[in-house]
Structure 1
């Protein structure tokens, strides 16, 4: 019997509390209908400040610039080089240098990892005398040769039809991998490359 009374007492207590609890919740203001919903934001077309973008294409070269809020945007030439099957093997970025040095421009040539670094990188323009350049550094993406280009080098690129970039695979040191660097559009593109101001 005491158990039944305890159970009935508990039911009675809950019955008394429930209406009071219901009254409390009915007095709480309703949450706004859009609470927790994303209201969206305006999307700006085109490159954002601080982002690189392709301003224009000149033949087989792209003029890649860095979007600035104001002032002249820094721009460089860029070309991806592929093998006969269309796989990217290398790329080259060419940028102008301030006057006063032997090099009027610089280039960064990126090649795949597992390139034999001691064999260096060779560039030949239209079958002329090849030039060899050492690799500077490698990271997780590839290995890089930082090269200086003289006024004579730039003139040969402007006159030329194509260059050949040659590298040696680490796993096959007796082989040469040759990729074509097109010079179509180089003259018009290079004339639009900016000289860094700093």
Structure 2
């Protein structure tokens, strides 16, 4: 393998230096005027299949999402745009006691004037019993139940609305409990913790969509 790599390196070097090497070793001796004319008339050698490379731009490109900031247990996720304000939302991944990802929640603001101040998308595994719905309890208060709206190959989703009172309870709270029911064990409940640490600062950075 070492000899093969050495041979490849030598061949590559000769491919680049070949025209100049041949000219230096085979060109007959001539007077200065003839040499200048020959060098002027000779076309530049073509690049022997070399890749010239391209400029690499650091950071996200337009149309890509990226995490701009982290606030406690919440991350601010934004969409890179060419101009104007970037749309941003906050999200958190919830895990079980063994560190396995069970669900995630994304919260985004809605235009003013509606019943809901914000919306949220909660994603859960495909093996969830959809008819049991999704329950969220903030700091032991009265729980709220939400239906699932759609599933794809990656999971099932509940699209929920959050009122001003809901957002206020999230800001005051320490944590919420998200409860779902496994399809294979309808008598059981899976509870995961949604931390509210950093929620207030993170939510304040979420952008409001424009018309």
TM class, shorter-length: 0.7 to 0.9
What is the CA distance between 1:120 and its match in structure 2? 0.1
Tell me the residue number matched to 1:57.
70
Tell me the residue number matched to 2:89.
76
For 1:2-81, list aligned pairs within 5 A: 32-35=46-49, 37-81=50-94
Following the alignment from structure 2 to structure 1, what is the Cα–Cα distance between the partners of residues 85 and 44? 54
Spell out, residue by residue over 1:157-182, the C-alpha distance to the aligned partner (whole angstroms, 9 max, x if none): 00000000000000000000000000
What is the CA distance between 1:38 and its match in structure 2? 2.4
Following the alignment from structure 1 to structure 2, what is the Cα–Cα distance between the partners of residues 102 and 50? 30
- Alignment of 1:126 with 2:126, yes or no, is no
What is the CA distance between 1:33 and its match in structure 2? 3.9
Which ranges in structure 2 are unaligned for 5 or more consecutive residues? 1-42
Spell out, residue by residue over 1:87-113, the C-alpha distance to the aligned partner (whole angstroms, 9 max, x if none): 110000000000111100000000000
SS at 1:39's partner residue? coil
What is the CA distance between 1:57 and its match in structure 2? 0.1
SS at 1:94's partner residue? strand
Spell out, residue by residue over 1:4-42, the C-alpha distance to the aligned partner (whole angstroms, 9 max, x if none): xxxxxxxxxxxxxxxxxxxxxxxxx9973432x322111
Tell me the residue number matched to 2:125.
112
Spell out, residue by residue over 1:119-176, the C-alpha distance to the aligned partner (whole angstroms, 9 max, x if none): 0000000000000000000000000000000000000000000000000000000000
**RMSD (CA atoms):** 1.3
Following the alignment from structure 1 to structure 2, what is the Cα–Cα distance between the partners of residues 90 and 31? 60
Following the alignment from structure 2 to structure 1, what is the Cα–Cα distance between the partners of residues 72 and 199? 7
For 1:90-101, list aligned pairs within 5 A: 90-101=103-114
- Alignment of 1:195 with 2:195, yes or no, is no
Larger radius of gyration: 1
Where has structure 1 moved over 2 Å in runs of 4 or more? Answer: 29-34
Q: TM-score, normalised by structure 2?
A: 0.78
